[in-house]
Structure 1
Amino acid sequence: MLKEKFGFIGGGKMAEALCKGIIRAGLSAGSNIIVSDVLAERCRLLKEEIGVQTTQDNHDIAAFADVIILAVKPQIIGEALENIKNDITPRHLIISIAAGIPLHFIESKLRENVRVIRVMPNTPCLIASSATAFAPGKHTTEGDKKLAHAIFNAVGKVFQLEEKYLDAVTGVSGSGPAYVYMFIEALSDGGVKMGLPREIATALAAQTALGAAKMVLETGQHPAQLKDAVTSPAGTTIEGVSKLEDGGLRAAVINAVEAAALKSKKLGELL
């Protein structure tokens, strides 16, 4: 268990997932986590369901926590930083999970030499299966990097990258779960169309996606090699693959990643 206390500014779905993931991984107890949100009802739910402390005052976050995680929408991060800038001391590490918001913007809104890390996680951190990338700020220490790695490694896979790659990460893994859920739903719909009960079709589709993903990660083989291993000459799979190609699956996914990455970049440019 880590000695640091954690504070979340913003109590949305990602903050909730991270809180649950951190507690489930044994990195911290709920009593060492505090979450702020503007909605009293949201605070009540988080306190009751997760066991964390809650507040509607961001100053309480800075007073309690050593690690402050900015989990607000990108459009209001400037306001949140303005609210706490005089509360930040050398003991604080700021971790931002706000999509598209560059390190230099966060650093410019706080006192000099504040330690900041920009992170792009995704919601499967709730079940310790997150895909996360982070970029350290100019005042970040090696200890800060190790701490960030420990936090996000406990809830999935984590990669340290240069900040210039984080918009692309947003397009792939930040938004990616939504694309995969859509694929699972479509695969299930296909099963229902062919007569399977919905529950069975969805379970088969989800387990298939899980198994295929594990094959990529655990074998180290290129996805194309694994696809070819399933695709027998004149068999059933090549018939399906042909239809996916007709439907433009590859182009649609590539375009989705590009659109999300460009949106992330634009959010930073609008500041």
Structure 2
Amino acid sequence: MTIGFIGLGNMARAVIGGMLDKGIVKPEDICGSAKTEATRKKMEDSCKIRTASSNREVAEQAEILVLAVKPQFFEEVIEEIKGISWEGKTIISLAPGKTIAWLQEKFGQRLPVVRCMPNTPALVGEGCTGVCASPEVGSKARDTVLEILGSFGKAVEVSEKMMDVVGAVSGSSPAFVFLFIEALADGAVAEGMPRAQAYEFAAQAVLGSAKLVLETGSHPGELKDMVCSPGGTTIQGIKMLEKNNFRGTVMDAVITCVEKSRKM
């Protein structure tokens, strides 16, 4: 099986790295294209995959083709490759805001398309990817795609109408978490802790808290209550966050991302 990538940016590197780490394919089974020779050379050297300067060449070779370019370049890429034979091929799209119907319209035919939304924690094998497939995707191809997407974290099937929400709660939210970690660390620095140490404490606290939610299955509110002793320090911090509309602001941020995605 040959897996092709058009675009070799961060997300493509995460997917390729996950597949190679899990032994799903060998480096020689992967081919990719990128605009610059420097990017292609970097992937050849780091992952030992095959590369090409032509998107069409990659599309012709691939049985599973991953479109990993930015959304604004999709139409240009599709124009380059849509004249090839698609017999036995499946397309994976990593673009936010581009529906299955939109992709099939641009290709001019009802091709097997899997739309997915990974996030940047995929770079460290802890991604969470929302997945939906067109009816043309066969069960064998679907299982292969889920195996690929699960190689760098979790892959969760959702209805397509939820994909814009996935993009917000999973795709955009790492930026919110990074901002939160930075703010936690800034507070510690303000009270005298060295910055490097503050980042370590803040990041590890977020990592551990997330694992508690996932591994215990407990409601986040229940876990919060476990930390908030009566008359203690934590409940005073919670009070300050609530006073400044912390939860409402986070909810608004997610909703804003969803609305933006729906307009793309």
Q: TM-score, normalised by structure 1?
A: 0.93
1:238 Cα deviation after fit: 0.8
Task: Quote the residue 1:30 is aligned against.
Answer: 27
1:111 Cα deviation after fit: 5.1
| Equivalent AA in structure 2 for residue 192 of structure 1 | V
Task: Quote the residue 1:253 is aligned against.
Answer: 250
Query: How many angstroms apart in 2 are the aligned matches of 1:73 and 1:64?
Result: 22
1:5 Cα deviation after fit: 1.6
SS of the equivalent of 1:154 reads: helix
Task: Quote the residue 1:191 is aligned against.
Answer: 188
Task: Write out per-residue CA displacement over residues 81-117 of structure 1, whole angstroms, 9 at most, x where no aligned residue.
Answer: 1111112421211000101100011112225342111
Query: How many angstroms apart in 2 are the aligned matches of 1:196 and 1:88?
Result: 61
Matches within 5 A, 1:2-21: 4-21=1-18
Task: Write out per-residue CA displacement over residues 126-151 of structure 1, whole angstroms, 9 at most, x where no aligned residue.
Answer: 22211111111131111222112111
Shift >6 Å, 4+ stretches: none
| Equivalent AA in structure 2 for residue 25 of structure 1 | K
User: Residues 190 and 254 of structure 1: is their aligned pair in 2 closer, same or farther, counting only changes over 3 Å?
Assistant: same
Query: How many angstroms apart in 2 are the aligned matches of 1:196 and 1:104?
Result: 53
Matched, 1:244 2:232: no
Return 5+ residue gaps in structure 1 as ranges. Answer: none
| Equivalent AA in structure 1 for residue 119 of structure 2 | N
Return 5+ residue gaps in structure 2 as ranges. Answer: none
Alpha-carbon RMSD: 1.3
Task: Quote the residue 1:85 is aligned against.
Answer: 82
Task: Write out per-residue CA displacement over residues 7-32 of structure 1, whole angstroms, 9 at most, x where no aligned residue.
Answer: 11112211122111221222122221
Matched, 1:156 2:159: no
Match of 1:47 among 30, 44, 47: 44
Q: TM-score, normalised by structure 2?
A: 0.96
Matches within 5 A, 1:100-111: 100-110=97-107
Match of 1:213 among 203, 210, 213: 210
| Equivalent AA in structure 2 for residue 240 of structure 1 | G
Between the two proteins, the alignment pairs up a number of residues equal to: 264
Matched, 1:222 2:226: no
Q: Which moved more, 1:216-225 or 1:188-197?
A: 188-197
Task: Quote the residue 1:68 is aligned against.
Answer: 65
SS of the equivalent of 2:83 reads: helix
Task: Write out per-residue CA displacement over residues 203-246 of structure 1, whole angstroms, 9 at most, x where no aligned residue.
Answer: 11111101000000011111000000100111010111112122
User: Residues 199 and 114 of structure 1: is their aligned pair in 2 closer, same or farther, counting only changes over 3 Å?
Assistant: same
Task: Write out per-residue CA displacement over residues 166-191 of structure 1, whole angstroms, 9 at most, x where no aligned residue.
Answer: 00000110111111111111111111
